[in-house]
Amino acid sequence: MVTHVPAEVRGDERGALLAFIEEQRGGIRRSVLGLTEEQARSRPSASELSLGGLLKHAAEVEQMWLARARQEEPPVRRDQSNWHESFELVGEETVASQLAHWERVAADTEKFIRSAPSLDDTFPLPPDPWFPPEGRVSLRWLCLHLIRETARHAGHADIVRESLDGKTAFELVALERERG
């Protein structure tokens, strides 16, 4: 753990889950601190991942899962033909635009989770072959999945950033605090 997540108010499971999602978002957001657009788009490791692409992907995935929980169509449809675009900044997309987009998505996630009648409420999984047929998951599962998904990509971002300029997650936390 690079940053501390304060203990939840007694009985505030939603607050605890949302705090851990936010902590992992912070890891990805910090990974682009002080970088130029060119650096954020670069791929300094053996991977195809860039920091700008990871930022975009994490925001897009969170937004997609929120749409699923609402049983709406995701705003961006991905398939084999355009999946790669979920991991790269394309056209006029910038780090700043993706950070602003993710901030809106995060606020939407917070509002949705806080206003749901129960974390036990469920929604159907899509009919993709990697999900069980007619599977359903709870809003609690959604929060845990977002923690896992975001944490996985925050780890990727740590490696890419360190490969780029040697800065570690701890240095980026310090840099974020300096910028206040």
1-27 pLDDT, tens digit each: 567 787 777 778 999 999 999 999 999
Tell me the C-alpha distance between 28 and 152, whole Å. Answer: 10
**Could you tell me how many helices (H) and strands (E) the chain has, helices first?**
6, 2
pLDDT for 77 equals 86
Identify the residue with better confidence: 106 or 79.
106
pLDDT for 94 equals 97
- What's the rounded mean pLDDT across residues 102-123? 98
CA dihedral 107, 82, 152, 20 (to 10 degrees): 10
Give the containing element (helix H, strand E) for 152: helix 139-165
> Comparing C-alpha atoms, which of 18, 28, 58, 61 is closest to residue 154?
28
**3-state secondary structure (DSSP) of residue 13:** helix
Tell me the C-alpha distance between 70 and 64, whole Å. Answer: 10
Q: What is the DSSP letter of 91?
A: T
**3-state secondary structure (DSSP) of residue 50:** coil
pLDDT for 159 equals 95
pLDDT tens-digit series, residues 35-72: 999 999 999 988 889 999 999 999 999 999 999 999 99
Reading the block at residue 146, the tokens are 């977002």
Report long-range pairs for 176-180 (Cβ below 8 Å, ≥24 apart): 176/26, 176/30, 176/33, 179/33
Express as a percent the part of the chain with pLDDT over 90. Answer: 80
pLDDT for 9 equals 73
Say what the pTM is: 0.92
Are the C-beta atoms of 80 and 129 separated by less than 8 Å? no
pLDDT for 162 equals 95
Domains of the chain: 13-179 (1.20.120.450)
Per-chain mean pLDDT for the chain: 93
Above 90 in pLDDT, residue 140? yes
